[in-house]
Structure 1
Amino acid sequence: MTDAGGPDAPHVTVVSTGFTYPEGPCFDAAGVLYTVELAGGVVSRTIDGEREVWVRPGGSPNGAAFGADGTLYFCNNGGNWGPNASTGMIAGLGGQPALIQSVDPAGVVSTVADSCDGQPLNGPNDLVLDGFGGIWFTDPAWAPRDAAGSAPASASPPGAVRYVGADGVVTIVRDDLVFPNGIAITPEGDRLVVGETGTGDILVADLIAPGRVGDWSIYARLGEQSFPDGMCFDARGRLIVAGTGSGRLFVVGALGSVEREIPMDDRDLTNVCFGGPDFSTLFVTQAETGRVVSLAWDFPGSPLAVQPLR
């Protein structure tokens, strides 16, 4: 492990390198770090500080989370990613199946969902599991690309939040968002939080039942320069948001105000999660440099496994 960071950045440690557009960091029950790679079409894990490919599902694996039985669930957006240094400035142009997939502990890849109401999924981006065996996930649509292969999130067609029930049925939760991206459930298990990359807003709704939410409201406004991506909560109820394109982590208090912005030395911060022996280390995937870094946090993280709805 080596230190990394600019003059105004916090003290961070490089955990592992060599990823092609890393995303979806998460830990299994044994404390092993897993990472997906959008441009590599693989799920990797870090063993003794070294990147090791675990499975090769193809497409473009995205946000991921472990279930209680050790199954890894992940989005596969069908081959879409923006160009950056870790991809050789080559963009992923899509054209492959958009899926929710899983990998069992033996490494067998399965498809969980590929459509909703008879229509193919757009490009699943991130997910969170609930206490009823269901999966909430964001399903943005990509904008037309410019000459460099970039697709501005603010120009995206309407995207959706969807739910896969324990019975495998996929339903629409909301379908009018401008590139819905990161998604999380509050530590109390009673509210769903979604980042809208195209507007810089963080939205929230009460969880009523599996696949059902109440009215939506604005949880926080980060501004269009922030491009909110993956997110997680700490035990104090603060939401930590990866601001892709901005090179900053945003720390949002329980009342929705931005308490802190943490600069890092990679513009394309894609996702965050907590890990470590005391669960008080924050891990960040950095897409431009193709690495995972960590930094100490002042409060433990909120476990990704959530409680049943109240």
Structure 2
Amino acid sequence: MLELSTLMTDLVMVESPRWHDDRLWFADWGTRQLIAVDLAGRSEVILEMPSMPFCFDWLPDGRLLVVSGGEARILCREPDGALTTYADLSGLSTHAWNEIVVAPDGNAYVNGINFDFPMGEFRPGLIALVQPDGSVSQVAADVAFPNGMAITPDGSTLIVAESYADRLTAFDLTSTGALTNRRVWADLGKGAAPDGICLDPTGAIWYASVPQQRCTLVGEGGDVLKTVPLDRGAFSCALGGPDQRTLFITANDYSPEMFTTQSGRVLTTPASP
């Protein structure tokens, strides 16, 4: 069993970890803060968001993109620290937008659940393409609660977690940014409900599961390679550290009080024996 360590505690509702510039960046949806922390536990609030949910990634030129999900727009953090509107997503859906990933060519992909979660009636979600000029178009539909996304290092394939379908789904990326050749990358089994995901250097995928309270490494086709059990819901995960061999996990108690109580943790474990 892989050994767990706690990097940060007393957080509210933590999500969307990303390793960038020698620190782990993550979202605390409860406080609406984007936080960065180094391996010694020294943390900094990078910015405070106007709405939640929110997630983020970086453009090739180093600028930070943040999805302000409740506002259906993408913000860009300029070099002087100012937040500007990068794209308006409301023309496709005014429901909460969930996850973003930026391709090597600067195209950004953002997904939306497309219904009022958790009380509203389920409707399939979508994936939108946001091009560097800010133009927005829908490139995938009928996604069963889209969640974590990842793009392979060569920029050829996008993989999305379909939480309500218990699977990881892959698309080929074309030169125009379109998504084609939709296929099941891995069927994870009933109750997996994959949330955040990240790619392993071998091409396998780590996925976080809230109901199963664990992170699992699977190969294409669904073979289970490793598991990291937790004592609370695993919401997302990212690889990082100096050698990219540390798995960072954002974990929270899953309850009606999770947006007001400090059950959030950032955990770490060696991703390799």
Distance 1:225 1:105, change over 3 A: farther
| 1:60-75 alignment, distance < 5 Å | 60-75=52-67
Cα separation, partners in 2 of 1:99 and 1:245, compared to 1, 3 Å: farther
Q: Is 1:211 matched with 2:177?
A: yes
Q: Say which of 152, 171, 176 aligns to 1:186.
A: 152
Corresponding position: 1:33 with 2:52: no
**1:26, 1:66 within 8 Å by CA — same for their partners in 2?**
no
8 Å CA contact 1:17–1:50 kept in 2: the answer is no
Change (3 A) 1:76 1:42: same
Which letter does structure 1 place at the counterpart of 2:148? G
Q: Quick one: distance in 2 between partners of 1:105 and 1:298?
A: 36
Q: 1:160 aligns with which of 126, 130, 137?
A: 126
**Which residue, 114, 118, 137 being the options, matches 1:141?**
114
CA distance in 2, matches of 1:120, 1:53: 30
Q: Is the aligned partner of 1:132 residue 2:105?
A: yes
Query: Where in structure 2 are the equivalents of 1:196-275 lying within 5 Å?
Result: 196-267=162-233, 269-275=234-240
User: What one-letter code is carried by the residue in structure 2 that aligns with 1:109?
Assistant: L
Contact in 1 for aligned 2:185/2:220 (Cα 8 Å): no
TM-score (norm 1): 0.78
Q: Deviations over 1:14-71 (max 9, x none)?
A: 1112322111112332x12211122221211225414432211221143322333332
SS where residue 211 of structure 1 aligns? coil
- What letter matches 2:218 in structure 1? V
The answer to whether residue 243 in structure 2 is matched with residue 278 in structure 1 is yes
Change (3 A) 1:107 1:17: farther
Equivalent residue letter for 1:212: A
- 1:292 aligned partner, one-letter code: V
- Secondary structure at the residue paired with 1:198? helix
Q: 1:17 and 2:9 equivalent? A: yes
Q: Distance in 2 between matches of 1:228 and 1:280?
A: 21
Partner residue, 2:264:
290
Identity %: 28
Supply the distance in 2 between the matched residues of 1:102 and 1:24 (Cα, whole angstroms). Answer: 17
Conservation of the 8 A alpha-carbon contact between 1:25 and 1:34: yes
Alignment counterpart, residue 45 of structure 1, candidates 28, 32, 36: 36
Normalization by structure 2: what TM-score? Answer: 0.87
Q: CA RMSD in A?
A: 2.1
Corresponding residue SS for 1:250: strand
**Deviation per residue, 1:219-275 (Å, 9 max, x gap):** 1111341211111111111111111222111211134433333211222x1211111
SS of equivalent residue, structure 2 residue 248: strand
**1:107 correspondence with 2:68:** no
- Is 1:56 paired with 2:48? yes
Residue type at the aligned position of 2:142: D
CA contact (8 A) 2:64 2:77 kept: yes
